[in-house]
Amino acid sequence: MAPHLPRATRSSSAMRERYRHLTALITFTRGLDVTPQSFDVAIIGYGPVGVTAANLLGQMGLDVVVVERDADIYNRARAISTDEEVLRIWQQIGLAERLKEDMLSDRPINFVDHRGVSFLSFVPKHRGHGHPPQLFIYQPALEKVLRDGVDRFPNVEVLLEHECLRVRQDADHVELMLADLRTDEFTRLRASYVIAADGGSSSTRGQLGIGFEGKTYEDRWVVIDTEVVKEWPTHDRLRFHCDPARPAVDCPTPLGHHRWEFPVLPGEDEKELVSPAAVWRLLERQGVTEAEVKVLRAVVYSHHVRFADRWRVGRIFLAGDAAHVMPPWIGEGMASGVRDVANLCWKLHAVLTGSLPESLLDSYAEERKPHVREMTSRAVFFGRVITERRRVITALRNPAFRFGDKLPRLGTYMREFGWFPKSHFATGFRSRITHAALGWQIPQPWVLSETGRRERLDDVTGNQWALLHVGQSHAFHDWTEAGVAAFELKPSGSSAAPQRVVDLDGSLLVWMKAKGATAVVVRPDGYVYAAAGAGKKLPPPPAELHAATRLRVMPDTATQGLSITHLHSHFAEGTS
């Protein structure tokens, strides 16, 4: 376990004075004969993105420090939904089932007109990742579970009420200057790499001089969070009120909460609009009174579209809102940040352990930026559909959706979340020998493992490099010599055997057939690095690859019945 950080012995009497003389203080502390504590990775920011990174890196056995200026979890819900891909990431750290206990899934989505009549209604269908396709969350509860997860790892040091005042890097490390907001003291630490997950107003991004270009929409929105007192007929579904007079979003959130969002119309006073009287006027327009809910908060905010000019400066990486922000219409803001660190963390581990060269890190932004931009574009389009106020257009929109829902292909596209771009990268860290499967994340079926247990695929492969083949003659000894585990993929009804997994629902076998692949090599994040069809040679592994020993998969707290304390002691036994 990393020891507590040393504190500088001199500080000014007040924060304002301390900031004013910061330059002098940095010069002074550099002269101290104290070697700063060193870590593999420092994470700035401890929201959903930062805490996910801390769990991932902690499980990988790296020495990590987290720097967070707030004393506790932000007690107001911001993000309200996530998806199956993100649950698959949280599955890696053994927390997916516990998190799902506090989520709502399989809820209907309704688009209703100005009369409250539905013109499109469906329950989203899954996309093959092994979890429900859409889940509604209560963010403070979610963050609590993720932070409890970090407590399992003695190699992760968490510094709450600390602010990173300055980052400074050279060829082999980054130095961070921290202020302890409780004691008015300073300290320094070093890290080989830094993940800045410190939000849309990221001070780290500002220090690095990175531009944050984009657009702020003129529309301002009132967000009303409530506690449910008495349920009403439509309390359990997400409803988009496509009313040109005043669009609205009506969304269930778990643990007895519900949220509404309304635009601020021209001429309305924002301060008056969040007053108790105005809030109840808005809710009563939806047929909801004090008998059904208790108002917890009402705030006004703007929608933004922003992209950082660069996501990496040397050894410092931006992730989540520090790198990009998007409107909330498809609930993918937080999810995109979690995908960022899932892409980045295994690469940092590979570089720090010497299993791949440092140039691997260049692929982070190359792979993530296109998907984030496409997701943002879809969110903007979706928002326009919902908030359209021109009555002529809405008069055409509603019957068009009703008709389209009845058409086989278009209806399927809408019901199966066709407007969500699937995770894929056309360039990045993948084989140069092209194949239709390259850059795609493989489905995650339930499988029969080599020991005969029914498990999810990622739990069998251990989220490490893995080679899956359907039994055709493929020469892949160069992959196994590099430390990559090979598994023969068999159809349902086959028996368990060493180095074999049985695809119980057939989804991965169907996917591979559709892609023309009889063998695929997947990276630790589940994306295909290399593939080959029948009679074709599998491309060679990347130069310098020395695949890490399979990490211990953290048992899921819900399915294994283990407490966080139990998990902590379990992990402390070792991570070989």
Token pair for 22: 């910061």
User: Which domains can be identified in the chain, with CATH numbers?
Assistant: 34-105+131-212+308-366 (3.50.50.60), 446-541 (3.40.30.10)
Locate tokens 């991965």: which residue? 508
Q: What is the pLDDT of residues 84-116, one digit of tens each?
A: 999 999 999 999 999 999 999 988 888 888 888
Q: What are the E-state strand segments in 387-535?
A: 446-448, 454-456, 466-469, 485-491, 500-503, 519-522, 528-532
User: Are β-strands 134-136 and 104-105 bridged in parallel, bridged antiparallel, or unpaired?
Assistant: antiparallel
433, 62 contact by CB (below 8 A):
no
Q: How many other C-beta atoms are found inside a 10 Å radius of the C-beta of residue 45?
A: 28
The residues near 16 (Cβ < 8 Å, ≥ 6 apart) are none
User: Are β-strands 134-136 and 156-160 bridged in parallel, bridged antiparallel, or unpaired?
Assistant: unpaired
- How high does pLDDT run on average in the chain? 87
Q: How far is residue 291's CA from residue 442's CA, in Å, rounded to a whole number?
A: 48
pLDDT at 339: 97
Please choose, from the candidates 334, 304, 300, 298, the residue with its C-alpha nearest in 3D space to the C-alpha of residue 319.
334
Q: Alpha helix (H) ranges present in 209-332?
A: 270-273, 276-285
Percent with pLDDT over 70 in the chain: 87
DSSP string for 524-537: TTSBEEEEE-TT-P
Locate tokens 């220090």: which residue? 207
Q: What is the pLDDT of residues 159-169, one digit of tens each?
A: 999 999 999 99
Token pair for 312: 């990496």
Q: How far is residue 434's CA from residue 507's CA, in Å, rounded to a whole number?
A: 23
Question: What is the pLDDT tens value at each position of the chain, 576 positions in all?
Answer: 333 333 333 334 444 444 444 544 454 444 444 678 999 999 999 999 999 999 999 999 999 999 999 999 988 778 899 999 999 999 999 999 999 999 999 888 888 888 888 888 888 888 889 999 999 999 999 999 999 999 999 999 999 999 999 999 999 999 999 999 999 999 999 999 999 999 999 999 999 999 999 887 767 899 999 999 999 998 988 999 989 889 999 999 999 999 999 989 889 999 999 999 999 999 999 999 999 999 999 999 888 899 999 999 999 999 999 999 998 877 789 999 999 999 999 999 999 999 999 999 999 999 999 999 999 988 888 888 888 888 888 888 888 878 777 777 767 776 666 667 788 999 999 999 999 999 999 999 999 999 999 999 999 999 899 999 998 666 789 999 999 999 999 999 999 999 999 999 999 999 999 999 999 999 999 999 999 999 899 999 998 898 754 454 455 654 443 333 333 333 333 332
Q: How far is residue 166's CA from residue 178's CA, in Å, rounded to a whole number?
A: 7
pTM confidence score: 0.88
Of all residues in the chain, what percent are helix, strand and coil, respectively (each to 5)?
30, 25, 40
Produce one character per residue of 280-312: b if its CB has 16 or more CB atoms within 10 Å, e if not: bebbeebebeeebbebeebeeeebbbbbbeebb
